[in-house]
Amino acid sequence: MNEYLGFKIIKLDSVNIEIEIDSFEFFKKVQKGISLNWNKRIQDTEEIVRYWRDEILDLTKKKRYNFEYDILDDLNKYIIDNFTINEPVNEVYGMSDNTTEWIDFFYDLIAYKSIPQFLKSIDEMNLVDEIEIFDETIETESASLLYNANEMNELIKKGISKDNKLKLKDIDFEINLTICPVEYFDTELFSGYYDDSKSEYKDGVVYNGKMFFDIYIPEDIFDIEINKKNIDNFLKENDIKRRLYSMLTHETDHINELTIRASKGVSIFPEKVLNHLVNIMKNHKFSEISNEWHDFLQDVYLHLSFEQNARIPQLYTMLKDKNITNQSEFWKEVKQTTVWLDLQDLKDFDAKEFMDEFTLNMKDEDIKDVFRDKKVFPENEIDNTEAKILVMRYLLGLWDDYIDEVNKSEIKLDKLPPDVFKDPYKFFKFFEERFHKNYKKIYRKIAKLSVDLIK
């Protein structure tokens, strides 16, 4: 028998086949392979099963088999002979040499230029500020460092090779650095984003983007002598280096994907327009009326394909240096990450529960008085409808109004159907189904990471 590829045939005849798959073993052999007679990279188990089902049935027509393992011998040989592993692991997860160089460049800018500059500034000026950490207000040193477009252009000339195919120009890079008491320190306080709202793509170059990172540093950094080696060791020991690389990988993947789309003439696409709409709603003052509404908007953002795509290389970066030896260890590590926790929000979203648990940050009668004063709804409707339902209807009305604003591009979002305003459940049920569908997609992608992470 040839090398075991992770599946066995349960039932086989010239028309039907049932296959039981051990996905880890199977993907380990063929996930990254390119079939010599099939140009499409295999993406998921369903495609693999469909493809190899045809190959198995074709084999049954050519030869009579008395035992299932006879055909498995031939099929194993066929797969081994026709598949080659010819892609670097980094390429599989969207991390080409081009993006890796940028990630290293951004890390060096933060670790070896910005942090020493920040620590030096603390000695020279008063940077004490009040900040909120875990619902507590503390006094500590904090400052924002902004590298404007001209400064970044000069740094990029020195730090990025000319043959790098990912070209950025006139970008702003802002870092907010905060000294954190050791007892409060947690790398999950970190955050970052890439703002492409003003960016444009021209002649192979991305112009006018902005990157922002919020970074916390344990106060015992003052105990070390500030030099490159000591800083790097300190960042490693406190898990900051891993966290920074994770964030930088995520945001650089966004830049890379948007650049690839733009290079193919697709600078605007439906999910980007939807993201624009979500950002408008997040920043609208009335959205502060409900914490659950803000959580919902975040879920809408999380389920977008380009956000999910960025989380795979982010997760790979977070886990690649862990000594993972089996599936149990793999999933244990995955489930400790913010990537996984965010995904559970998509998986667990239930439209009915969401509406039942929807709370308001104002008293019901105060909200109804606001609606009365602004004549948003008829008086009898305000009197006879729950305040939270009125709020939902109003928020969906804002959503619908802002669709007109974001639809100025060639990509159009559909207006909300009229019955949604009478029954908001239909709106949230629509997104519940989208959240669950996209959760399944990214879950499969995460499962595939085990192929290259288990040592």
- Residue of 73, 79, 71 whose CA lies nearest to 2: 73
pLDDT band at 392 (very low <50, low <70, confident <90, very high): very high
Mean pLDDT value across the chain: 79
In single-letter form, the type of residue at position 158 comes to K
Q: What is the pLDDT of residue 44?
A: 41
Query: From CA 255, how far away is CA 176, in angstroms rounded?
Result: 21
Give 46-65 pLDDT, tens digit per residue.
444 455 555 555 555 544 44
Of 401 and 350, the structure prediction assigns the larger pLDDT to: 350
Residue 95 has pLDDT above 80, yes or no: no
The structure's pTM equals 0.68
Q: HSE of 176 in the Cβ direction (CA atoms, 13 Å)?
A: 12
Q: What is the pLDDT of residue 371?
A: 92
Give 243-276 pLDDT, tens digit per residue.
999 999 989 988 888 888 787 776 666 777 788 8
What mean pLDDT comes out for the span 334-347? 90
Q: What is the pLDDT of residue 393?
A: 92
| 3-class secondary structure, 36 | coil
Residue 214 has pLDDT above 80, yes or no: yes
Residue 66 has pLDDT above 50, yes or no: no
Q: What is the pLDDT of residue 72?
A: 52
Query: From CA 298, how far away is CA 111, in angstroms rounded?
Result: 30
What distances in angstroms separate CA 224 from CA 96, 118, 197, 217, one per listed residue? 35, 15, 40, 13
